[in-house]
C-alpha cells in the first residue's frame, strides 16, 4: 500500500513549559529539562534551564527519526533526577494527510505526573523534514467511520475516507 521503508525525520523545537511543580506545593526551582522519546530506547533531551524555575524556556531544536510504526512520541519533563510530568503526542497531530512537508505545527500539551494529576503544560513546535513517501506513512491515522451492520436496515449514510494509494 504505502512505501514504509524510510523513517520520518522530525525537527522538534521544545519551546517552553508552564507551571511545573515538584510536589503539589513546591514549584520547580531550576534546571528543568525535557526528554523526548520516540520509543523506550530512543530519546533526546534538551539542556537544563537554570533560571526559568517553574516556567522554563529552552527554545531548543531536537532532530529525531521516527520509525514508520510509531504512533506516539512521549515528552517528559524532568527536574533533577525526577520525572515530574509526561505527555503523549500522537504523530497524527503533526504529520499526516493534508499537512504539507515542512509545515510548522505549534502544539501544546498537558503534562501529568506519576499519579495522573495535572502538572503544567509543555509548548513545542514540530516540523516534518522528510518521510520518503508523500507524508502518508502507514503510521498516520486518518479517522474512518463505519456504520455497524445490524439486523435493522437503517437508511443512514456511511462516510468513507479513501486510504492513500501509492
Partner 1 sequence: MGNCFSDVKGGQQAIGGSVRAGGGGHGGSAASGPNDAVDYFFRAKGEHALFMPIELSLSASKLRDRDITSKSDPMAVIFTKRRNGKLEEIGRTEVIMNSLDPSWIQKINVTYQFEIVQHLVFQVYDVDTKYHNLPVKMLNLEDQDFLGEASCVVSEIVTKRERSLTLNLHSRGRPGFKHLGTLTVRAEEPVASRNTVEITFRCSALENKDLLSKSDPFLRISRTVETGGSVPICKTEVVNNNLNPIWKPVQLTMQQFVSKENPLVIECFDFNDSGNHQLIGKLQKSVAELETLYQSKSGAKFISPSSGFRRHEKVLKSQIIVEVYVEKQLYSFLDYISSGFELNFMVAVDFTDRCFPAWGFGGRTPDCSVSHCFNLNGSPSEFEVEGVDGMMAAYTSALHNVALAGPTLFGQVINKAADIARGSVSCNYAKYYILLIITDGVVTDLQETMDSVVRASDLPLSILIVGVGNANFKEMEILDADNGRRLESSTGRIATRDIVQFVPMREVHGGEISVVRALLEELPSQFLSYVRSKDIKPLNMS
Is there binding between residue 35 and partner 1 (CB under 8 A)? no
Is there binding between residue 53 and partner 1 (CB under 8 A)? yes
HEC profile of 67-115: CCCCCEEEEEEEECCEEEEEEEEEHHHCCCCCCCCCCEEEEEEEEECCC
User: Rounded CA gap, 151 and 133, in Å?
Assistant: 42
With residue 38 as reference, give the H or E element that holds it. Answer: strand 32-39
How many residues touch partner 1 (CB under 8 A)? Answer: 28
Site residues for partner 1, 115-144, by CB under 8 A, read: 121, 123
| Cβ 80 to partner 1 shortest distance, Å | 18
| Cβ 112 to partner 1 shortest distance, Å | 7
* Nearest alpha carbon to residue 45 among 29, 58, 55: 58
Nearer to partner 1, 156 or 162 (CB): 156
Stretch that binds partner 1, among 6-14, 40-48, 61-69, 90-98 (CB under 8 A): 90-98
Is there binding between residue 105 and partner 1 (CB under 8 A)? yes
Burial label for 149, CB within 10 Å (0-12, 13-18, 19+), is: exposed
The residues of the shown chain that bind partner 1, judged by CB under 8 A, are 51-53, 55, 57, 87-90, 93, 97-100, 103-110, 112, 121, 123, 155-157
Amino acid at each position: 500500500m504505502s512505501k514504509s521503508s524510510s523513517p520520518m525525520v522530525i525537527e522538534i523545537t521544545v519551546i517552553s513549559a508552564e507551571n511545573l511543580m515538584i510536589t503539589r506545593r513546591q514549584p520547580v526551582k531550576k534546571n528543568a529539562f525535557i526528554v523526548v522519546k520516540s520509543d523506550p530506547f530512543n530519546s533526546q533531551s534538551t539542556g537544563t534551564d537554570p533560571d526559568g524555575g517553574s516556567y522554563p524556556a529552552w527554545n531548543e531544536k531536537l532532530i529525531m527519526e521516527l520509525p514508520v510504526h510509531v504512533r506516539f512520541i512521549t515528552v517528559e519533563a524532568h527536574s533533577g533526577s525526577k520525572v515530574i510530568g509526561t505527555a503523549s503526542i500522537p504523530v497524527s497531530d503533526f504529520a499526516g494527510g493534508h499537512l504539507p512537508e515542512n509545515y510548522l505545527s505549534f502544539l501544546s500539551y498537558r503534562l501529568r505526573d506519576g499519579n495522573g494529576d495535572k502538572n503544567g503544560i509543555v509548548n513545542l513546535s514540530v516540523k516534518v523534514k522528510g518521510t520518503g513517501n508523500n507524508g502518508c506513512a502507514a503510521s498516520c491515522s486518518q479517522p474512518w467511520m463505519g456504520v455497524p451492520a445490524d439486523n435493522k436496515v437503517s437508511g443512514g449514510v456511511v462516510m468513507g475516507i479513501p486510504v492513500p494509494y501509492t
